[in-house]
Structure 1
Amino acid sequence: MLIAQLDGRKVALWGWGREGHAAYRAIRTSLPGLPLTLFCLADEVADARALGDPRLVIEVDASAAHLSAFDIVVKSPGISPYRAEAVSAAAQGTRFIGGTALWFGGHAGQDGIAARTVCVTGTKGKSTTTALLAHLLRAGGHRTALAGNIGLPLLELDAPPADQSVAPEVWAIELSSYQTGDVAASGVRPEVAVVLNVFPEHLDWHGSEARYVEDKLRLITEARPVVAVLNAADPRLAALSLPDSQVRWFGNDAGWHLRGDVLYRGETRVMDTAALPLPGRHNRGNLCAVLTVIEALGFDAAALAPHAATFRPLPHRLQTLGARDGLTWVNDSISTTPHASLAALDCFRDRRVAILVGGHDRGIDWADFAAAMQHRAPAAIVTMGANGPRIHQLLEPLAGAGGFTLMAAADLADAVVQARTALGGDGVILLSPGAPSFGPYRDYVARGRHFAQLGGFDPDSISAIPGLGVA
């Protein structure tokens, strides 16, 4: 759908975070006279009123009855379409779309393809992969936009520059499972779509593991990218049939893959990745995805691969903050699944580690994490947050035999105190919660910033995401 097609319809915005602000500005720029209604939280009303927009009605009751009064509701990604009020309104004819769908609607070529768009998703690693893609393309002299779920809504970059010579040559777009369906709903095909891996997450938004997988994979099963770049090591992906897309695999012997720490393209050795600023073997493996994309775009991937050495790691993702009193502080606040916590532990398997786990309870099973603690446990595990007691109960029978100390904390500050005590001035304090931050914190960034403060580090200096926008 094009923004221009909203004209003459009853339109509402639902959500007033950064995506909501971006959607408002994009619609208002194109349709200054269109009446709009905004559904937002009570503490956001004053900010919305400060716009001074006489054609904007502000509501706080996003009930099914109110939502169903509109033809189109442009909702923020964090609002699930599976909520009862959304389902009811949709049944009465209201169409729910997101800013991602509006952006793709405005970027379709005559063939229905959004040229030079690369959409990246996956349960783990999508932000680093998207940023690394932009970094390598820019190193090769290709003007690239870095946007999407990584921290810059696409609609914030929607207005084309007056000088088309500085327009992006390639769009590197990160998409969460909340946004992949928007690409499919837009009816516009991305040129390249990447899926790194799929395992359970965001079950409260999607409602079930099956629906999460289905929604995540809509980027390739329904959006029908021209090229689908897939991880050959992921069994769900390996089983897919995509008749409308050319499939390029990474992680197998025929394509880009790792043998130990050495990067190969087929049987050709390219370089050693051990010293790259990509913490964890999984991130070095995602370099294979990036190089596969670069090839799909028609560029020389082997020539660009060495530029990974100058990549700046993203904040809150296995981010080493520094050392204090013999302890190394590592901020992996973005970790929201037990699988992510296990991957983080693997990065420090030769060090004494106290890992802090727990947060908002989405009902995800920690059985695989517990099983792994029987043979690769850290020195200490500190549980915290709403699902902390559940994790603690699962791990308690294993603590003695597993050789790790198990502690329960009231909150993050208490968890840090207990981790310090457990390590005794030697080791790594690793925040890799395996759960969302909701409750005590607005998001994983706020949680990571608090962790940095508790360690004695400046939260502002560790939080900026490099490279957002067009460069």
Structure 2
Amino acid sequence: MQISALEGQRVAIWGFGREGQAALDSIRKQLPKLPLTLFCSEAEAVGARARLDDRLDIRTAVDEAELTRFDIVIKSPGISPYAAPAVGAALHGTRFIGGSALWFAEHAAKAARGQVICVTGTKGKSTVSALIAHLLRAAGKRTALAGNIGLPLLSLLDATPEPAYWVIELSSYQTGEALNPDVAVVLNLFPEHLDWHGSEERYYADKLALVTQANPRALVLNAGDARLRAVATAAGACIWFDNAAGWHLHADKVFRGERQVLDLRGLPLPGRHNGLNLCAALATIEALGLDAVALAAHAASFVPLPHRLQRLGVRDGIEYINDSISTTPHASVAALDCFAGRRMAIIVGGFDRGLDWSVFVERIRAKPPLLVITQGQNGPRIHDRIEPMARAGRLTLLAAEDLTAAVAKAQHVLGNEGLLLLSPGAPSFPRYTDYTERGRHFAKLAGFDSNAIGAIAGLGVA
């Protein structure tokens, strides 16, 4: 649906974070007189009222009856359409869309438009999106980097001149809104966001909508993921990574088929999972018809994203690693593997979404670190799974009330030597607004400038 199609409709915006603000700005540019209702929190309402928009009705409470008054509700991505009050209003005919849907419709209507690369996956999508944009810019291509990575698509709707490429990160909340991308990239699938999707099966279906519903021209998929192998024939030509014929890893080397292209050592991409992220990015460059082998060396100048295995530095003999983006047990396992053999403490736990922590427990059993500290809502559940190993003397296991206490306990056990890894494997709320606030708090507790670690390089058009 294009923005012009909202004319004459009863329209509301639900949520007034970055996405809601971008939606309002975009609608006002095209339809300055369209009456709109905004459903938002009390805190968000302060900023909304400051806009002095006399055609914006601001409400700080929402229910099913209110939502059914509207033909179209443009909702923020974090609001689930599968839960009350949205699900009830939808049964009465209210249509829920996101800002991404408006952008894709507007983009499709352009006479001259850049190619669109959509990237999703349970883990790694931000890094891969940023890597693709970095490599395209290294090739001299004007490239936009936006989406779930931290910049709403609608905020770049009027970008002039039109970028040659749009690199768009999509969460599972947004994949169903993609329309005719030139390349769809799916990295991996693990259970996540089950509270939003309602079930593991629906999460996979929503994530794979980028393949099954978006009508991509070409696919870039991970050959190491069984679910992705099963859906590979659903749409378009497919380029695989993590297989011997394409871009893959062997030890610390990146190969294209039998040709060695890069040595991962010395690159700002720690861990095997980041090596695979680079393989995915290079396969995408190849899918666009560019010389990925020639561009691969530019990975050396990539600026890593914050809160993703981010080395903060050393204080009093302890090295601090901020992996606050880690919201699944698989991510915590990947983080442990990056620092295998080190004298290490890891802090895990957060909001409990009911995920199975067996993969983490098995990794601890195989290669126990010096110390595991559990915290957060699911901390006791993780603690109970690891406790038999601690009783057997294989590692030290401690419980902490919060992150402040966890850091203090880790510092006490490590003394003046070792590595402290924050890789929670769980969401940050309700104690923090998001993973970035959690990461900044960790940096502050470790003695670093919390305001100096949060910027994502390369967002926008360049």
TM-score, reference length from structure 1: 0.96
Equivalent in the alignment of 1:144? 143
Counterpart residue identity of residue 405, structure 1: T
- Contact 1:116/1:169 (CA < 8 Å) preserved in 2? yes
- Give distance in 2, aligned partners of 1:451 and 1:307: 31
SS of structure 2 residue aligned to 1:13: strand
Matches within 5 A, 1:58-207: 58-108=58-108, 115-161=114-160, 164=161, 167-183=162-178, 188-207=179-198
* Mapping of residues 44-443 of structure 1, within 5 Å: 44-108=44-108, 115-161=114-160, 164=161, 167-183=162-178, 188-401=179-392, 403-443=394-434
Query: What is aligned with 2:32?
Result: 32
Instruction: Give the aligned residue type for 2:426.
Output: A
Structure 1 letter corresponding to 2:150: G
Question: How many aligned residue pairs are there?
Answer: 462
Hey, what's the Cα distance between the residues in 1 that align with 2:110 and 2:134? 29
Deviation at 1:110, TM superposition (A): 8.1
Distance in 2 between residues matched to 1:201 and 1:160, nearest whole Å:
33
Give 1:10 deviation, angstroms.
Answer: 0.3
- C-alpha distance in structure 1 between counterparts of 2:147 and 2:401, whole Å: 35
Per-residue Cα deviation, 1:109-134 (whole angstroms, up to 9, x for no partner): 589x9751001111111111110111
**Corresponding letter in the other structure for 2:188:** N
Residue 446 of structure 2 is matched in structure 1 by 455
Find the aligned partners of 1:463 and 1:102 in 2 and give their Cα distance. 28
Aligned alpha-carbon RMSD (Å): 1.4
SS of aligned partner of 1:420: helix
Q: CA deviation at 1:243?
A: 4.1
**Mind listing any 5+ residue stretches in structure 1 that lack a counterpart?**
none
Whole-Å separation in 2 of the counterparts to 1:433 and 1:75: 29
Tell me by how many angstroms 1:244 deviates: 3.1
Unaligned runs of 5+ in 2: none
Q: Give the residue type in structure 1 aligned to 2:135.
A: L
How many Å separate the matches in 1 of 2:355 and 2:218? 32
Q: Deviations over 1:159-214 (max 9, x none)?
A: 132xx3xx31111111111111121xxxx211101000000111111111111111
- Give 3-state SS (helix, strand or coil) of 2:321's partner: strand
Q: Distance in 2 between matches of 1:171 and 1:25?
A: 20
In structure 1, what residue type is equivalent to 2:209? R
1:247 Cα deviation (Å)? 1.1
Deviations 1:90-149 (A, max 9, x none): 1111110001100000011589x9751001111111111110111111111111111111
Question: Residue 192 of structure 1 aligns to which amino acid in structure 2?
Answer: V
Percent identity between matched residues is 61
Identify which range, 322-331 or 36-45, moves more after superposition: 36-45
Aligned partners of 1:114 and 1:190 also within 8 Å: no
The answer to whether the 8 Å contact 1:115/1:190 transfers is: no
Q: 1:462 to 1:123 in 2, by over 3 A?
A: same
Letter in 1 for 2:81: P
The residue type paired with residue 432 of structure 2 is Y
Q: 1:402 to 1:292 in 2, by over 3 A?
A: farther
8 A contact 1:147–1:469 mirrored in 2: yes
Cα deviation for residue 398 of structure 1 reads 2.1
**Aligned-residue offset at 1:426:** 1.0
Q: Is the 8 A contact 2:211 2:234 kept in 1?
A: no
* Contact 1:220-1:242 at 8 Å conserved across structures: no
Give, in whole Å, the separation in 1 of the partners of 2:336 and 2:409: 18
Report if the CA contact (8 A) 2:147-2:153 is conserved.
yes
In 1: Cα distance, 2:232 partner to 2:295 partner: 31
Distance 1:309 1:110 in 2: 35
Contact 2:219 2:235 in 1 (8 A): no
Separation in structure 1 between the aligned mates of residue 9 and residue 337 of structure 2, nearest angstrom: 53
> Which residue identity does 2:6 align to in structure 1?
L
Contact 1:221 1:242 (C-alpha < 8 Å) held by counterparts? no
Aligned-partner residue type, residue 62 of structure 1: V
Q: Name the SS of the counterpart of 2:208 in structure 1.
A: helix
Aligned equivalents of 1:42, 1:292: Cα separation in 2: 45
Distance 1:443 1:110, change over 3 A: closer
CA–CA distance in structure 2, aligned partners of residues 229 and 401 of structure 1: 45
Per the TM alignment, residue 402 of structure 1 is displaced from its structure 2 partner at its CA by: 6.5
**Equivalent AA in structure 2 for residue 425 of structure 1:** N
